């Protein structure tokens, strides 16, 4: 079985800078001086995945997404797909 890596990403065109994500996941998200999220890009460890999901689900503008990646067979390219998508 190939291990999947989970990352959190922000759609900057959707974000209004509420800052709730940084309150719920300070281990991976900090705010710039205008209140917009800066995501460190590191993999979300299993111990933080529930917190990351809560941050994604709590975003009032639906600007956050969890993305699963897995190494390709060659190990160079990555295949991405949304891991958590809320129905509208």
Query: Rounded distance, CA 79 to CA 57, Å?
Result: 23
Asked whether the beta carbons of 61 and 12 are under 8 A apart, the reply is no
H helices, E strands: number in the chain? 2, 5
Residue 6 pairs in a beta bridge with 68
Fold topology of 5-84: Alpha-Beta Plaits (3.30.70)
11-26 pLDDT, tens digit each: 999 999 999 999 999 9
Asked whether the beta carbons of 4 and 69 are under 8 A apart, the reply is yes
Query: Rounded distance, CA 69 to CA 61, Å?
Result: 24
35-73 pLDDT, tens digit each: 999 999 999 999 999 999 999 999 999 999 999 987 654
Is the entire prediction scored with pTM above 0.85?
A: no
């Amino acid at each position: 079985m190939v291990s999947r890596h989970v990352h959190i990403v922000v759609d900057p065109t959707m974000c209004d800078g509420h800052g709730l994500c940084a309150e719920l996941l300070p281990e991976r998200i900090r705010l710039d001086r205008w209140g917009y999220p800066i995501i460190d890009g590191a993999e979300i460890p299993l111990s933080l995945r529930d917190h990351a999901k809560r941050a994604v689900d709590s975003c009032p503008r639906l600007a956050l997404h969890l993305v699963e990646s897995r190494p390709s067979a060659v190990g160079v390219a990555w295949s991405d797909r949304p891991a958590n998508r809320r129905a509208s």
